[in-house]
Structure 1
Amino acid sequence: MPMRDAQGTLSIPVPEVAVGTGRPPRPTRPRGPATSVRTGPRLYAIDAIRLLAALMVAVHHYAGTRRVNQPDNAIWDRPVSEIMPTVFHFATYGWIGVEIFFVISGFVICMSCWGRTPRQFFVSRVIRLYPAYWFAIVFTTAVLAALPGVWERLRPRDVLLNLTMLQSGSGVQNVDGVYWTLWAELRFYLLFLLVVVTGLTYRKVVVFCCVWGAAAMLAPVASFPLLDLLAGPDAAWYFIAGLALYLMHRFGQDLLLWGILAMSWLMGQRELGQRIDEVEHVSSWRGAVLLYTVFLLVMIAIALGLTDRIRWKWLVTAGSLTYPLYLMHYAAGTTLINRLRDTMDARLLVASLLACFLVLSYLVHCCVERPLAGALKRGLDTSFARMRNAGRADRE
């Protein structure tokens, strides 16, 4: 059957003739682990959605949260709904950008890991996550130290622990509140590594989606903290949706994948409602579900190849700004709003801050991420090579 590779190109397997029969064997789905990922056009549309999601989150934090709409809040000093009511109305839904990130993460991780070894998976995650994150911690800590009064500064030992990205597992506060999503991402990587170790196949990823979904469904009522920690029910169904979408993209659609995606949507809309009730309190469930549904429809279009004609090169650069922008915009940005809110129109201030953080994100990508990622990759590759050679020497 036609298969779509990791980058979107359709390929049609040519069946080999069975020896002694003169007729081709019955076509089947690949059963063994993939050994390589075929090249093809980049999915530029995903880069565009990633940047849009990051901007949604940033605008939400600046002008749409419950915190900034309180009287005498430390950021704007009065309810932002009074300062810019129209912006506030739309910004209240920006938090959905986080759920969009999770779905895209499930899609992209599955795509980038296909045909890779566990070592390559580990190295790719380290060089992708840590360079910009380390810079963001230093940058945010410096801004909060220079401009106190809005956010509490952490103790030096807690800031240092944040450099590991494991602070949530140690019960230590994040340097910036947005880092909570990284804890969800790390748990997803840990779980998915179990599949990568055995070799990625269509069947194994489908089974993984079903098992993880069952665990996420049972965790809230199981009264078993370890299950709740590993299953991460508040984010699991978004990652699962991304995995199902990538399988559609690579192997084509079928009823089972549509069923997994439908289950993910049904469970996801419930999680959206819970987040509104327990955390956000500023947006409606109907509006949130509508936005999330529209996003999933766009992702389905991407998975089915309907956006393959979008090949604007600048979107690659736009996508590269997403991670640094997300890491740096919140604590530092709201602190700057506190200092600059009386100097210009509020809408202009928000737009100016976003523009400045986009420029800073580009500089971080070029001057920090790229050089550090290259150095880390070379160092880790050397380290793993030494381990491999040492293992051979021990056997000899």
Structure 2
Amino acid sequence: MFSGEKPTKKRITARKRGEKRGICLFVPSTLAELTQVLTKKLSLKVDSLYTESGGLIDSIELIRDNDIVEVEINNKEDKLSNLQETTKADNDWITLNVGGVKFMTTRTTLASREPESMFGCMFQHDRPFTWKSTTDDSNAFLIDRSPKYFEPILNYLRHGQLIFDDGLSIEGVLEEARFYNIVSLVEILEKKVQEERKTEFQITRELFCKRLLATQSNVELRCQGMNFEGCDLSRLDLKRINFRYANLKNSNLEGANFAFCDMERANLSGAQLDGAALMGARMLCINLEGACMRGCNLEEPNGQRTNLEGANLKGVNLSGSSLAGANLRVAKLKKADLRNCDLRGAVLAGADLESCDLSGCDLQEANLRGANLKDAIFELMISPLHMSQAL
């Protein structure tokens, strides 16, 4: 080295132990300074320095120009620090101002059970903050919803159990759960709402018989829109009663007399109607899907047509029933059992008779124009079916 020249600084490549890539830097005058520089540049707590061959470096004099220095990190301290930070972040206390009432809870409570909920979007660490919410003077998040219905929702997020005080509307809590998009809670509440509706006031046979006895024979009994689901009304004289829009689903109506009743848009799906009298009944758009109607009498004694236009009769069992002259225009009779039915003069124009069993039926003068007869069975017909009836 010539007199007056400055000594050349040594340059090294520092990398974490076990890794191939690192950073280049000039070597300071002391080992302590080098450790501080590496701690700052790597953003990790440096514990020890080693040569590429594994020798411990305990003096700056041991480092030569262009050496590769391997850095050992203090993993225990780093992991502990990360754990403390994570635990602290997960247990950050958050205040929500819901409709003027403040609720205190943790980030974990709000975000862990339902990650895709509104609160998951607001408070999860591993996703960007996508839901902006105004805060009040105390930095509580403002939510313009009902505090009365929010309390059971927050408790559900805490422990997974749905508990609320008597008198609190389930429908109200359900509406709020839908707003917050708490899917699992919505499913629970929807089931509870359905159960409540099932236990709502239903007409029993005893109550209905008392009402029948208390009604004069010349007064129309109005049962429009009433709930008779699962009720036993078998063998009762129900003539001329208004059953419009009534729910008679899965009811036992065997042998009952529904002559001249108004049953427009009533729900009789799955009902038992074997041997029932339905002469003159008005059954426009009635739902009889899956009902059993063996041996029913729907024939009009005075020549008027029983009106079943647009009725849902999918899969119904009408075997042996009398439907002479009945209006079944555009009715849905797919896979219905109509064996040995009297359908003389019946109007089946535009009806869906796909896969319907019409074996042994009397279709004399029946109107089948435009009906869907795909895979329908016409074996052992009493009277031959003319092409003109179906064209």
TM-score interval for Structure 1 and Structure 2 normalised by the shorter chain: under 0.3
Bigger fraction of residues in helix? 1
- Give the TM-score taking structure 2 as reference length: 0.19
- Give the TM-score taking structure 1 as reference length: 0.19
Bigger relative contact order, structure 1 or 2 (CA pairs below 8 A, ≥6 apart): 1
Bigger fraction of residues in strand? 2
